[in-house]
Structure 1
Amino acid sequence: MKVNEIKVSYKQRIPSRQWPKISGSQDTAALLYERWDQDTIALYETFKVAILNNGNRVKAIIELSHGGMTGAIVDVRLLFGIVLKVAGTGIILSHNHPSATLTPSQADRQITEKIRKAGAILDIRLLDHIILAPDGSHYSFADEGIL
């Protein structure tokens, strides 16, 4: 009987001492905003995830999806598959609101809670969810006490 074989590997190309350290939502928002496509931030929503180690250093930022002007689909299985592959212990969710409205929608709150619960089962901490506006201003779920 034949079955597929799976091999998991991780190649660290940047020394961990060079990874950016996150100490709050201001650091996170600035880091994410500088890596956002400025040509599309006011056009459509993009959902990104910062993957952190136990020392709150950013191992990677992954663009998980981009959608339309009012939403982006988030596949939680894909998100955690990537986080587990790079041995992340914490995550920070982020997406932009092209409208520049920083208030989270009900859908934003629901996906945040769904991801928080899934992460808790896997011992992966959800540290924050940042909503970015095209001008660089942001909303932090952690700062607002939602997480």
Structure 2
Amino acid sequence: MNIDYKIGEVKLSYKPKFKNQQKVTCSEDAYKYMLSTYKKGTICYKEYFKVLFLNQANQILGYTLISEGGLTETTADVRLIFQAALLTNS
């Protein structure tokens, strides 16, 4: 019996876009940066779970959308959050 076992390759990537990273010093800074990631007109009618990744100097490495829900709830899988955090070395 000659069986050819082939599987797909999984690639995860993180490519920083900016050399000059913005620094978060308070919750208002984080709010301003995250607010700019939403499309106009969508923030009021859907629930989103986004994560902002920072390094140890509180510089922004990036963000990701973990889940998108309905009017009242959305779910977040902690494994996806940790996966992205490890990938970005947050």
Match of 2:27 among 22, 25, 38: 25
The superposition leaves residues 107-143 of structure 1 with CA deviations (integer Å, 9 ceiling, x where unpaired) of xxxxxxxxxxxxxxxxxxxxxxxxxxxxxxxxxxxxx
1:74-103 C-alpha deviation (Å, 9 max, x unpaired)? 010011001101111xxxxxxxxxxxxxxx
- Structure 1's 3 and 63: CA in aligned 2 closer, same or farther, altered over 3 A? closer
Give the CA deviation at 1:12: 3.4
> What TM-score do you get using the length of structure 2 for normalisation?
0.80
**Structure 2: stretches of 5+ with no match in the other structure:** 1-5
Q: Give the share of equivalent positions with the same residue, in percent.
A: 33
Structure 1: tracts of 5 or more residues without a match: 89-147
* Structure with higher helix content: 1
Deviation at 1:7, TM superposition (A): 6.7
Q: CA RMSD in A?
A: 2.1
Aligned-residue offset at 1:13:
3.5
- Relative to the length of structure 1, the TM-score reads 0.51
1:54 aligns to 2:61 (yes or no): no
Moved over 4 A (4+): 2-10
Which secondary structure state, in structure 1, belongs to the residue aligned with residue 30 of structure 2?
helix
Residue 14 (structure 1) aligns with: 18
Q: Which has the larger radius of gyration?
A: 2
Which residue identity is paired with 2:89? Answer: A
Q: Measure how far apart 1:14 and its partner are.
A: 2.1
Q: 1:56 to 1:70 in 2, by over 3 A?
A: same
